[in-house]
Structure 1
Amino acid sequence: MAITAELDAAFPERLTFAHDTDRARLSDVALKAYRRLAEQWGLSGQQAAALLDISMSTWERLKPEGRGKVLSQDQMTRISALVGIYKGLHLLFADDMADRWPRLRNKAPLFAHQSPIESMIGGGIPHMVEVRRYVDAARGGL
């Protein structure tokens, strides 16, 4: 849960990520959280890049710890949704299922027999938001 604690501190209120100054201030912590999430979920480089809707070469440039990389509004929104899913799964499951669930094939209509990761790669931000709602509803958060 260290990932979400850092982000909760960095994102005290709901943000739109529309302002360059906000994105510049928050990009380092968002990237750090996303790197950890990618590791926890066992994402391949290709999956990590696809979830952010960026090329592998761009992901390779973003992957190393470094300062000054300002993410786009779209990238910040994607990371926010994914971290929300991560947090919800860790509230829902008390074991390693929280980090395995995103890779498991799912029969729910939302996933159409794909893993949540595969379905979010295909569906982009709207689908990421739906997966977040699904996880929140499963844990009784709605």
Structure 2
Amino acid sequence: MPQFQLVKKTTYQPTAPEITDAEGAAMARAVVNLFRRWEITDGQASVLLGGLSARTWARWKVGEVGRIPRDLKSRLSNLMGIHKALRIIFTEADRSYSWVKKPNDVFGGSSALEIMLGGELTDVMRVRRYLDAVRCG
């Protein structure tokens, strides 16, 4: 008869570090500035931030960032990744900010903003993955 050995339960170890509340708040403040540079409307901001309410967005714009759920932290992280990649790819800041609204053959003639306004986290991630690939050669 085979012998079985009990395996001790281990605690879950995420492969990526958890985004802290302080990091989430910092990213939220940065996204407010980024969206200003991208010339994003309040309605577009709501979509890009996963349906963030107009009231919460208004609070963010005056620096009042409350608790940010994990999914929203992920959106913020991807938006910051897009910004970082653009700043690396383009040496001129204005080009990096305007790129988001320019038609792009990679996206079938749509702009990156149009892709991201699909509203899903995967839409934002699609743009980030593309830029990361360009940035890394």
The TM tier, using the shorter chain, reads 0.7 to 0.9
Aligned residue among 100, 103, 113 for 2:101: 103
Higher Cα radius of gyration: 2
Whether 1:135 and 2:131 are equivalent positions in the alignment is yes
Report the residue type matching 1:81 in the other structure.
N
Q: Which stretches in structure 2 are left out of the alignment for 5+ residues?
A: 1-15
Equivalences, count = 121
Residues of 2 paired with 1:50 and 1:123: CA distance? 5
Separation in structure 1 between the aligned mates of residue 124 and residue 112 of structure 2, nearest angstrom = 9
Is structure 2 residue 36 aligned with structure 1 residue 39? yes
Listed as ranges, the gaps of 5+ residues in structure 1 are 1-13
SS in 2 for 1:65: coil
Shift of 1:122: 0.3
CA distance 1:123–1:31, change in 2 (3 Å): closer
Q: Distance in 2 between matches of 1:57 and 1:114?
A: 30
How far apart in 1 are the matches of 2:54 and 2:102? 23
Q: Letter of the 1:112 partner, please give it.
A: G
Identical counterparts, % of pairs: 31
Which position in structure 2 is the counterpart of 1:51?
48
Partner residue, 1:7: none
Q: Distance in 2 between matches of 1:80 and 1:64?
A: 21
The alpha-carbon deviation at position 94 of structure 1 amounts to: 1.2
Q: Which residue of the partner structure matches residue 62 of structure 1? A: 60
Partner of 1:6: none
In structure 2, how many angstroms separate the alpha carbons of the residues matched to 1:37 and 1:119? 17
CA RMSD, Structure 1 to Structure 2 (Å): 2.0
Q: Is residue 2:89 matched to residue 1:92?
A: yes
- Looking at structure 1, the residues matched to 31 and 46 of structure 2 have their Cα atoms a distance apart, in angstroms, of 11
TM-score, normalised on structure 2?
A: 0.77
Shift, 1:123, TM fit: 5.0
* Structure 2 equivalent of residue 126 of structure 1: 122
Partner in structure 2 of residue 5 of structure 1? none
- How far residue 37 of structure 1 moved from its aligned partner, in angstroms, is 0.9
Q: What is residue 15 of structure 1 aligned with on the other side?
A: 17
The Cα of 1:46 is off from its aligned counterpart by: 1.2
Q: TM-score, normalised by structure 1?
A: 0.75
The Cα shift of 1:125 comes to 1.2
- Deviation of 1:70 after TM superposition, in Å, equals 0.9
Aligned residue for 1:122, secondary structure, equals coil
